[in-house]
Amino acid sequence: MLKVGLTGGIGAGKSEVSRLLDAYGAVLIDADRIAREVVAPGTPGLAAVVEAFGEEILAPDGTLDRPRLGALVFSDPAKLAVLNGIVHPLVGARSAELEAAAPPDAVVVHDVPLLAENGLAPLYDVVIVVDVSPATQLDRLVRLRGMTEDDARARMAAQATREKRLEIAGIVIDNDGPLEALEPQVRAVWQDLVGRAQASA
């Protein structure tokens, strides 16, 4: 089994890379998706979050009101640490379960937005960084996601720097170009990963 960490700054195109790798046959473990699952209604995760932050973080239908919780924690590092202390262990445990269920010769890709920020690189055999220039990031966030320039810059500033991400990269995918330039790069990376997985099996 080859354990791969996949990361990239907001607007870099990491989701498209993970979609392609999944299509080629990778076992994809998406940290964001799992983070939503572990606080779904009826889960111990949601109960713990409500206990920490109160019933007002619930939407009328009983689901987590993410924008309200986000507004509460992103302006307060102590509250964010409490939330991370609840969610991160649950995500880690579920990720480990999914990884353990993968075949022995699998390429397991962990899609982890905050891989660099949380110092997780040592957990993986190789780290792939989807890299773009800050100008490209800003353009995509404003043009494609409808953010204001100030909001986009704030989101970018809250993440690791481009340099910090590149420091941990075993493989870099340059996604500054058009979408059609991305696929051949990802296909070549996939062939490399399959070779590594077979060599380590």
Q: Are 88 and 45 in contact (CB under 8 A)?
A: no
pLDDT digits (tens, 9 = 90+) for 23-62: 999 999 999 999 999 999 999 999 999 999 999 999 999 9
pLDDT digits (tens, 9 = 90+) for 102-136: 998 999 999 998 899 989 999 999 999 999 999 99
pLDDT digits (tens, 9 = 90+) for 133-157: 999 999 999 999 888 898 888 888 8
Q: Which of 89, 85, 43, 95 is nearest to 64 (CA)?
A: 43
Q: Are 89 and 156 in contact (CB under 8 A)?
A: no
Tell me the β-bridge partners of 138.
none
Q: Which of 150, 169, 166, 170 is nearest to 158 (CA)?
A: 150
Q: How far apart are CA 76 and CA 119, in angstroms?
A: 21
Walk me through the domains of the chain, giving residue ranges and CATH numbers.
1-26+106-201 (3.40.50.300), 32-104 (no CATH)
Helix and strand tally (H, E) in the chain?
A: 9, 5
End-to-end CA distance of the chain: 6
Calculate ∠ Cα 136-157-114, nearest 5°. 90
Tell me the β-bridge partners of 126.
4
Q: What is the pLDDT of residue 164?
A: 96
Q: Which of 21, 8, 3, 36 is nearest to 115 (CA)?
A: 8
Structure tokens at 81: 């640490």
Checking if the pLDDT of 178 tops 90, the result is no
Q: What is the pLDDT of residue 45?
A: 96
Residue 158 binned pLDDT confidence (cut-offs 50, 70, 90)? confident
Q: Which of 191, 185, 160, 190 is nearest to 173 (CA)?
A: 185
Q: What is the pLDDT of residue 96?
A: 93
**Residue ranges of E strands in 31-168:** 107-111, 126-131
Checking if the pLDDT of 1 tops 90, the result is yes
**Residue ranges of E strands in the chain:** 2-8, 27-30, 107-111, 126-131, 171-174
Tell me the β-bridge partners of 27.
108
